[in-house]
A and B are shown apart, each in its own frame.
Chain A
């Protein structure tokens, strides 16, 4: 019972802050709200027996990516979006978003969990440790994706340099 209360609280904060991301006029405020959401999600990850993911969420997402974003916002010096925050046709977009919600929740409600159950029980996580589990998986079965990721990051680095460096 306390769990569900906690979940509800975290979820409410996550939803609220995400709404703020969409609604705030100042991009900095948006970014901060987003960071708030990320923290909420990290909390939820912990509740889902994924402490390592929670940590990564905080470090990578809230720490690295959001800092980058805030930095760029500062760089581009756009404190506020002066007159118009929203594009034209907000109402229709809202309808679509509500529809999205409706559709997604519509099928999610009816969807049982049918996947093949795995071995990673809460006990195992407790016993072995989440990080080790992740690490083992990452460097055995998921070696290739991991390597691809390295290429991806390399590409991103090269690209950022090419695109944003003052002088080439």
Chain B
């Protein structure tokens, strides 16, 4: 089965080509959707096959490389189109193809009747292909194709409603910010390649070769530079501070896109990348710290913004940013497996949440449309009490919300708790650990709060929809609800494959399968880490239990506050707003980060560009060119007056010239 790994990206590619080239002719939505969905579902099946085969092989042999064709060979630089199958990539392909298939299926219903239906599926398939390349690539360059490919698809899909200016803006912003990250990625790649090559004569960007050569890398120094650059790449792709602002805007895309790209898969690419190169990242304690701090900061920062948003998708978007922050916190504290674990669970529940919100929006849109209302179908202030009209959506949504809030028993709890615990206990950052944990915990509290705020505003309370539209509200069709149900289920139980050791021991020593599974991948990184950080300094069972309990309490506190504010005492939010207007405004406007960026980068760039063009290029550079021409022409105009037309003038010049020559040579 390993040998067939090439099928995994190929199938979506075929889907893309078929839909992209012939979709317009096919017209039949079922066929188009079917092709798209089957393509990715085929990949899913292959992935399953690989997973099964891998389970069957011994952990040491769970690495498989497959070269498809040589890509760029130039001198000592060699990058093949080649795939790497190892436990980490298997996890990723499972998530991508699995969640992807569901979202494809969902899209058939959601995108029904949209203009450019085929286009959507083509893009979606293209995205899946890119994402699969990203996770399967056996070298940095193939990863980079995927890396930029997903960026492209993200661009295309965000700009799906291209006639809306906001969509175009958002798409462009997403791509450009990703490009900033890609710039970092490239520089990181160059640094690594160059350093290893010129110092150790190992010219490679192949992950496995890098892994073998990683012991030659120093701790810190150049590795810090390289990894920081890579991390810049990760912040771009995974919407971390400072490059996070594109993700909320990316909600301009259709909701399945948000679910697939901006929640489940693409945005986690940064996390995956760090995981993939954990053995390098760990060699730079400074980078690890930066990652952890940025992750934590993003987690809390986005969470605060999420509390004040009214657009249902934007809340989820900030939630995503925040959750990604958690993942980075995990990576930064050396909890690689936990990070990946959270990545997976997050894919489940966040995809479910997005799809649920999509279902809601779908219904709202339908209803509002039929009521000829121009209310915003995504604004939670226009919703309320939807749980009756949309039970399945509601339940799945709720399950996912509970999962994300970190209520024990649901997937989010296991992963998030693991992260928080490791942030607290892992030895890499000394005293900072406590702070990181604290921030994470507060962010978790906020998460619970805004997620339940969302649920309460949307599904509970009074129905704020116009009465006329109300009657048109109904549950979404099966094609939409089936994915919801599957994802809801996964959100609920998906966490059990990664039971914390502590809990596993309660149930008779069930190991943390997930960590075990990824162990071969992260083993080396841990070893490197332990060379400079003492293990188990804080390890304390009681403490772990305590912290676990604490995080549950924190989640509950968040939920309670949300309950208080949005169910029990609905005036509270208003009061709160009027008490701290500045704070609310700031939070509501995302801390004015977009404005800050405009002020700091965008506007100066445009102004500078304008200056360079009109003030420098045209005036100075071209001015010199034209100036020279003008001077020559000017001289020409002046000199032509030497030809006065008078013979005696001419004779004078001749005589004077002769005398000058004679005088010069005779008397010099």
A interface residues (Cβ-Cβ under 8 A, vs B): 87, 89, 92-93, 96-97, 99-100, 103-104, 106-107
Known: A87-B646, A99-B659. A106 touches B652 (CB 8 A): no
Known: A96-B655, A96-B656. A107 touches B666 (CB 8 A): yes
* CB of B457, distance to nearest CB on chain A (Å): 99
Residues A103 and B652 in contact, CB atoms below 8 Å apart: no
- In the complex formed, the residue of A with least CB distance to B653 is A96
Partner of B652, one of A92, A104, A107: A92
> Is B641 in contact with chain A by the CB < 8 A criterion?
no
Residues of A within 8 A of B646 (CB): 87
Residues A106 and B667 in contact, CB atoms below 8 Å apart: yes
Residues A100 and B666 in contact, CB atoms below 8 Å apart: no
* CB of A109, distance to nearest CB on chain B (Å): 11
* CB of A158, distance to nearest CB on chain B (Å): 25
> Is B537 in contact with chain A by the CB < 8 A criterion?
no
Q: How many chain B residues touch the partner (CB < 8 A)?
A: 11
Residues B652 and A89 in contact, CB atoms below 8 Å apart: yes
> Is B624 in contact with chain A by the CB < 8 A criterion?
no
Residues A103 and B659 in contact, CB atoms below 8 Å apart: yes
27 inter-chain pairs at a CB distance below 8 angstroms, sorted by A residue, are A87-B646, A87-B648, A89-B648, A89-B649, A89-B652, A92-B652, A93-B648, A93-B652, A96-B652, A96-B655, A96-B656, A96-B659, A97-B655, A99-B659, A99-B663, A100-B655, A100-B659, A103-B659, A103-B662, A103-B663, A103-B666, A103-B667, A104-B662, A106-B666, A106-B667, A107-B662, A107-B666
Residues of B within 8 A of A97 (CB): 655
The 4 closest A-B pairs by CB, nearest first: A107-B666, A87-B648, A103-B662, A99-B659
Interface of A is mostly: helix
Question: C-beta contact mask, B216-247 vs A, less than 8 Å → 1, else 0?
Answer: 00000000000000000000000000000000
* CB of A105, distance to nearest CB on chain B (Å): 11
Residues of A within 8 A of B659 (CB): 96, 99-100, 103
- In the complex formed, the residue of A with least CB distance to B666 is A107
Interchain CA distance A93-B651 in the complex, whole Å? 10
Interchain CA distance A106-B648 in the complex, whole Å? 25
Residues of A within 8 A of B667 (CB): 103, 106
Residues of B within 8 A of A96 (CB): 652, 655-656, 659
Question: C-beta contact mask, B642-668 vs A, less than 8 Å → 1, else 0?
Answer: 000010110010011001001100110
Residues of B within 8 A of A87 (CB): 646, 648
A89-B649, A93-B648 are known; give 16 further A-B pairs, CB within 8 A. Answer: A93-B652, A96-B652, A97-B655, A99-B659, A99-B663, A100-B655, A100-B659, A103-B662, A103-B663, A103-B666, A103-B667, A104-B662, A106-B666, A106-B667, A107-B662, A107-B666
* CB of B656, distance to nearest CB on chain A (Å): 5
Interchain CA distance A87-B662 in the complex, whole Å? 26
* CB of B119, distance to nearest CB on chain A (Å): 84
* CB of A94, distance to nearest CB on chain B (Å): 11
- In the complex formed, the residue of B with least CB distance to A107 is B666
* CB of B81, distance to nearest CB on chain A (Å): 84
Residues of B within 8 A of A89 (CB): 648-649, 652
Residues of B within 8 A of A99 (CB): 659, 663
Interchain CA distance A64-B324 in the complex, whole Å? 116
Residues of A within 8 A of B662 (CB): 103-104, 107
Residues of A within 8 A of B648 (CB): 87, 89, 93
- In the complex formed, the residue of A with least CB distance to B647 is A87
Residues of A within 8 A of B649 (CB): 89
Name B121-164 residues within 8 Å CB distance of A: none
Interchain CA distance A104-B656 in the complex, whole Å? 13
- In the complex formed, the residue of A with least CB distance to B658 is A100
* CB of A84, distance to nearest CB on chain B (Å): 12
Residues of B within 8 A of A92 (CB): 652
Residues of B within 8 A of A107 (CB): 662, 666
Residues of B within 8 A of A103 (CB): 659, 662-663, 666-667
- In the complex formed, the residue of A with least CB distance to B656 is A96
* CB of A35, distance to nearest CB on chain B (Å): 24
* CB of A10, distance to nearest CB on chain B (Å): 27
* CB of B215, distance to nearest CB on chain A (Å): 90
Interchain CA distance A77-B456 in the complex, whole Å? 122
Interchain CA distance A97-B658 in the complex, whole Å? 11
* CB of A47, distance to nearest CB on chain B (Å): 29
Interchain CA distance A87-B655 in the complex, whole Å? 16
Interchain CA distance A43-B662 in the complex, whole Å? 31
Residues of A within 8 A of B655 (CB): 96-97, 100
- In the complex formed, the residue of A with least CB distance to B652 is A93
* CB of A23, distance to nearest CB on chain B (Å): 16
- In the complex formed, the residue of B with least CB distance to A86 is B648
Interchain CA distance A96-B652 in the complex, whole Å? 8
Interchain CA distance A143-B388 in the complex, whole Å? 133
Residues of B within 8 A of A93 (CB): 648, 652
Question: C-beta contact mask, B258-272 vs A, less than 8 Å → 1, else 0?
Answer: 000000000000000
Interchain CA distance A87-B650 in the complex, whole Å? 13
Interchain CA distance A99-B655 in the complex, whole Å? 10
Interchain CA distance A92-B648 in the complex, whole Å? 12
Interchain CA distance A89-B649 in the complex, whole Å? 9
* CB of B644, distance to nearest CB on chain A (Å): 10
* CB of B316, distance to nearest CB on chain A (Å): 93
Residues of B within 8 A of A106 (CB): 666-667
Residues of B within 8 A of A100 (CB): 655, 659
Residues of A within 8 A of B666 (CB): 103, 106-107
Residues of B within 8 A of A104 (CB): 662
Interchain CA distance A104-B648 in the complex, whole Å? 21
* CB of A117, distance to nearest CB on chain B (Å): 25
Interchain CA distance A92-B653 in the complex, whole Å? 11
Interchain CA distance A106-B655 in the complex, whole Å? 16
* CB of A92, distance to nearest CB on chain B (Å): 7
* CB of A88, distance to nearest CB on chain B (Å): 8
- In the complex formed, the residue of B with least CB distance to A90 is B648
* CB of A21, distance to nearest CB on chain B (Å): 16
* CB of B662, distance to nearest CB on chain A (Å): 5
Interchain CA distance A107-B663 in the complex, whole Å? 9
